[in-house]
Chains A and B, each alone.
Chain A
Amino acid sequence: MIEIQDLTKYYGPTLAIWRLNFEIADGEIVGFLGPNAAGKTTTLKILAGYMPPTSGTATINGYDCLTQPLEVRRSLGYLPENVPLYRDLEVSQFLSFAAQAKGVDSRKQKIEIDRVLADCGLENVRHTLISSLSKGYRQRLGLAQALLNRPPLLILDEPTIGLDPTQIVEIRQLIKELAGEHTVFLSSHILPEVSQLCQRVIIINRGQIVASDTPANLTRELGESSRLAMVIKGSEDKIVATLKALSGIKGVTARGNGYYLLEVEKGQELRPTLARQVVQAGWELLELKAQEFTLEDVFLNLVTEESEAEDKAA
């Protein structure tokens, strides 16, 4: 569905993205993850044919985003960042403009508009002026216009930003329901969202792809070591020294208030040894538990590894 080759974009002298390469197959839901200013929106704008790349190519359905923009746009539903909408129009007026612009057959227009209104839960604001809609409704209206004419590909730039928790759950549910019919490429900087919604995650940082895999694989790869959290009452220096000396412990971090984070080699059950050690030393063991790596850790790990490596290089 999407093929990106060596995609590079400079804004004047500033580099936004550098030689991105990836593919998205039909029917996939892919999350595009990265900190702010990593180049997510730039990539999506190029895909939507709104902006030209400096070099490299992006194709959607075999059509080049730069040279065949009309064909690309016909197969695309795009929700831009910050959801720009025509504030002076009513919801239904806006949707009928969008439907016409997208070439929905005039006899099917009403049915199509009713369908997206129902799908996005907008029936009760049909005749409301867009300027008086709440943020949540605007976000849903943005999604509704993207869904018109059932495009095979949906590109959603931060679809849940600025929504309250209930609305976020609703929008996520909606995106999940869309999955069967559309290929979805969505950007986000909210990690749990991506791990819930997407079959695959592409992580981008400073304009370059740092990882691309399923959420499960990404967390497993990082899980070469596992982590233990402990809460111990006692002298901090001594505790750190003693724990570090134990075999199988890769690192100990004191987080204050008696809270310690231990990195342990994978596959070793160290909890009984640790408990015994602490008690023998005369400290009080308040808590001891294993911690799972989340996508957030993967993300932080990748992003910080990158910048550390760059700092060293510099």
Chain B
Amino acid sequence: MSGCLAVWRKELVVYFSTPIFYLTGTFFLLLGGYFFFSNVAYYNLLSFQASQNPYLASQLNALQMVFRPLFGTLAVVFLFMVPLVTMRLFAEEKRAGTAELLFTYPLTDWGVILGKFLAALLIYGVLLAITLIYALLMAWITTLDWGQIFTGYLGLFLLGAAFLALGIFSSTLTENQIIAAVISFGLLLLFWVIGWYEELGPSGWQGFFKYISLMSHFETFSRGIIDTRDLLYYFIFIYFFLFLTKRQLESRRWRG
């Protein structure tokens, strides 16, 4: 674990001194703001209609109408954004040759991997935290169930962490950042959609496809439910890909 802190700090300095973080952050917040605005506008429209329709009025719920769809769309935006955040982490070290410095300093592989992972996670967490402004704005005009909001955010945080773990693994496979981004984007999309056609899969496997899908586990969180099975799924997913990253780094030693 030694060196985790050093690598973490270095990665953060690089993130905050290069444009990629500011660019992805800007577009993420721009898109998030747009989706939030349109959800609220739609909610607003329905509220007017509800003034004539008592049944509709009883169904209206700011969480269900604004935040559930917002969490879903933010998750999709992250799907596009995370490969851009992680593509640099190992690919650039290899391309620039700094891997030779990094791996001749007295650092363990886990120290390096966790340092990079936690730095990317902090970046992600910061961007996610900024979107809490939406919830504060809504709380200003209506009453919100904060428990449900935070459950949704917990889900988004875990989902993003899983994305990042996969992205970091992709970054070890190549020394070209674009290729790393393409690999992680492709894999993420696959893990996203794999549960869609569960009933069409080979018999006995339907449940499996549904289970490994990133999306199906996220849905429970966005409904405001914390299920230990979903927590476990994300922890296993993150550990699995960080473990693959470690194996990939180690392969340098026996492959030569």
Task: Give the B-binding residues of A (Cβ under 8 A).
Answer: 9-11, 45, 48-52, 54, 66, 70, 73-74, 76, 78, 80, 82, 84-89, 93, 97-98, 100-103, 145
Contact = CB atoms under 8 A, between A and B. Distances in A.
Nearest to B11: A97
Given A73-B105, A74-B106, A82 B97 contact: yes
Contact of B106 (A52, A85, A89, A101): A101
A227 B14 CA distance: 59
A52 B254 contact: yes
A97 to B, nearest CB: 4
B2 A49 contact: no
Contacts of A70: 2, 106, 108
Given A48-B104, A52-B254, A73-B105, A100 B17 contact: no
B44 interface: no
A103 B104 contact: no
5 contacts: A48-B100, A50-B104, A84-B100, A88-B18, A102-B105
Given A50-B100, A52-B253, A87-B96, A97 B9 contact: yes
B8 to A, nearest CB: 10
Contacts of A100: 3, 5-6, 9
B250 to A, nearest CB: 11
Nearest to B101: A84
B131 to A, nearest CB: 27
Given A84-B97, A89-B10, A9 B256 contact: yes
Interface in B70-117: 96-108
A11 B256 contact: yes
A78 B253 CA distance: 18
A101 B3 contact: yes
Given A73-B105, A102-B105, A89 B2 contact: no
Given A51-B252, A98-B101, 7 more contacts: A9-B256, A49-B104, A66-B253, A78-B104, A82-B97, A93-B10, A101-B6
